[in-house]
């Protein structure tokens, strides 16, 4: 694991965010007692805006993208082997701590059922690693913000296809569709996929020895450092806003592994600000 760690002024673990936001942790006795509303009390995201995102606030377009790139590039990197155990935490089933939730199928599966067999789960690069030829190199090839547990067979069907609407139903993965040059995930994770792709485009900007990753409005991009279709990804992000699972995943990566965040989970409106 890299020894490069983010500056202490940027990193706020979850409890620290709560503390900065002025949100007291409830006692057992008070757990079921509604707290009076306090409209002057900042939310956790507002607390992050005052700390982690402070250099991005008030910006838009290319200036916002550049500021976010600088912020989220300050991270601890994990190895490809370490990804296995990390995904057991980031994608843990909130209703069964022995399982992970698989991205495309939505299935809850044992954390121990990982490997290469057809019904196992493996490590899916949502930004396909061939799009920019970064493979499994530490950096884009191991970035937890776009690596997810998926069924081996479904992962193989997705392959390195771009994202778009349409296609034939994917067996054993209801709601997913695929054709010769694109893959459509189920509705419940369309926004998740979009925000992972757009995170990668901001994080890997060509200044760290890797390709400049950029979304475009094409499919069948091959090995170019591009993934499409941007217009569809933007629509997916708007139609499927961040849910509790996605927000928790962002926080676990921030607190326990890479110590950086996906800004489009905290601020979905920044998608349209950067990609007009």
Cα angle 170-154-235, degrees, rounded to a multiple of 5: 65
Q: How many residues does the chain have?
A: 276
39 pLDDT above the threshold of 60:
no
**Residue 237 has which token pair?**
């992000």
Cα–Cα dist 133/160, whole Å? 11
Ranking 23-27, 38-42, 83-87 by mean pLDDT, the lowest is 23-27
Cα–Cα dist 126/103, whole Å? 10
Work out the burial of residue 54: count CB atoms within 10 Å of its CB; fewer than 13 is exposed, 13-18 middle, 19 or more buried: middle
Task: Give residue-wise pLDDT tens across range 252-261.
Answer: 999 999 999 9
Range list of H helices, 180-229: 190-203
* CB-based contact 191:178 (threshold 8 Å): no
Task: Give percent of the chain above pLDDT 90.
Answer: 83
Cα–Cα dist 144/87, whole Å? 8
For residue 243, the model assigns a pLDDT of: 98
Task: Give residue-wise pLDDT tens across range 44-102.
Answer: 889 999 999 999 999 999 999 999 999 999 999 999 999 999 999 999 999 999 999 99
- Mean per-residue pLDDT of the chain: 89
Average pLDDT over residues 125-152: 98
Q: Which among 144, 151, 150, 123 is positioned nearest to 249, based on CA atoms?
A: 144
For residue 21, the model assigns a pLDDT of: 41
For residue 42, the model assigns a pLDDT of: 67
Question: What separation, in Å, do the N-terminal and C-terminal C-alpha atoms of the chain show?
Answer: 37
Note the pTM of the prediction, 2 decimals: 0.86
């Amino acid at each position: 694991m890299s020894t490069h760690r983010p500056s202490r002024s940027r990193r706020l673990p979850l409890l620290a965010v709560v503390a900065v936001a002025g949100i007291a942790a409830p006692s057992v006795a008070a757990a079921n007692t509604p707290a009076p509303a306090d409209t002057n009390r900042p939310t956790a995201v507002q607390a992050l805006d005052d700390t982690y995102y402070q250099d991005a606030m008030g910006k838009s377009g290319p200036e916002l993208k550049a500021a976010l790139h600088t912020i989220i590039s300050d991270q601890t990197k994990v190895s490809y082997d370490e990804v296995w155990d990390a995904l057991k935490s980031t994608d843990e089933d909130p209703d069964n701590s022995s399982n992970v939730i698989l991205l495309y199928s939505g299935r809850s599966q044992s954390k121990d059922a990982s490997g290469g067999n057809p019904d196992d789960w493996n490590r899916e690069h949502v930004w396909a690693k061939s799009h920019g030829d970064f493979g499994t190199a530490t950096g884009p090839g191991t970035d937890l913000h776009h690596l997810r547990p998926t069924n081996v067979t479904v992962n193989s069907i997705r392959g390195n296809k771009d994202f778009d609407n349409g296609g034939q139903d994917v067996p054993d993965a209801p709601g997913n569709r695929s054709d010769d040059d694109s893959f459509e995930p189920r509705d419940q994770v369309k926004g998740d996929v979009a925000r992972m792709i757009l995170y990668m485009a901001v994080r890997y900007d060509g200044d760290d020895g890797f390709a400049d990753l950029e979304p475009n409005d094409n499919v069948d991009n091959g090995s170019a450092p591009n993934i499409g279709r941007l217009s569809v990804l933007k629509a997916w992000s708007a139609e499927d806003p961040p849910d509790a699972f996605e927000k928790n995943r962002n926080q676990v990566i921030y607190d326990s592994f890479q110590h950086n965040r996906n800004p489009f989970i905290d601020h979905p409106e920044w998608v349209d600000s950067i990609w007009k």
